[in-house]
Chains A and B, each alone.
Chain A
Amino acid sequence: SAVISQKPSRDICQRGTSLTIQCQVDSQVTMMFWYRQQPGQSLTLIATANQGSEATYESGFVIDKFPISRPNLTFSTLTVSNMSPEDSSIYLCSGRLAGNTGELFFGEGSRLTVL
């Protein structure tokens, strides 16, 4: 298994500002993903964080709004840029181990509130 730590766990932000969420994994994971989740709802994939290269974004998500870095196998960041109240959500980092049969391990999430 893998332990995934995220910070901040929660934050309140002002409209127009940007916030970077950090994700640290205790094991080398082959793949890392960032999801968004509205409270009480399902998970929506934002992007796949690729080590040493640009992230792969899902439809509806763009790099200018959600820049992602992954400098090594155990660390990634997601920035939510120029925030608006619509960005208020829980952001979840997840990872998959090498040789794993498919399941993801998740961080505790970062709850952002944009005023």
Chain B
Amino acid sequence: AQTVTQSQPEMSVQEAETVTLSCTYDTSESNYYLFWYKQPPSRQMILVIRQEAYKQQNATENRFSVNFQKAAKSFSLKISDSQLGDTAMYFCAFKPHVNAGGTSYGKLTFGQGTILTVHP
């Protein structure tokens, strides 16, 4: 079974600064996907960024980028030029490329979440 660990329950950052959220995972799979999701106080989860394990290049989406260290099983999210609208709970999630034999094919495993507050 896979596990995802986010060791930072809460983080805060000043507007326009940079913050990094940590995520580690444990798996015996060699090919998989990793995600960062954002859940603002309005509740709807939205995808921030996705990384495919077979790609060595770190994914980037505008102000969001990841540092994917496959050997270390680490997947951190960096938010540059933080904005007030970035205030949310952030979840790291894992999905094996093929969930062989699983009863819930393709399910995501989520970390515990990190509450990020951006201060003006």
Contacts and interface: CB of A to CB of B under 8 A. Distances in A.
Interface in B26-84: 33, 35, 42-47, 50, 52
Contacts of A31: 105-106
A103 B50 contact: yes
Chain A interface helix/strand/loop/mixed: strand
A115 interface: no
B43 A90 contact: yes
A91 to B, nearest CB: 11
Interface residues of B, number: 25
A70 to B, nearest CB: 14
Given A41-B113, A42-B113, A92 B45 contact: yes
Interface string B87-112: 00101000101000001111110111
B50 A102 contact: yes
Chain B interface helix/strand/loop/mixed: loop
B115 interface: yes
Given A48-B105, A101-B50, A42 B91 contact: yes
A33 B45 CA distance: 14
Contacts of B112: 41-42
A56 B43 contact: no
A56 to B, nearest CB: 5
Nearest to B43: A109
B78 to A, nearest CB: 19
B111 A96 contact: no
A100 B76 CA distance: 23
Contact of B47 (A41, A47, A103, A109): A103
Contacts of B95: 102
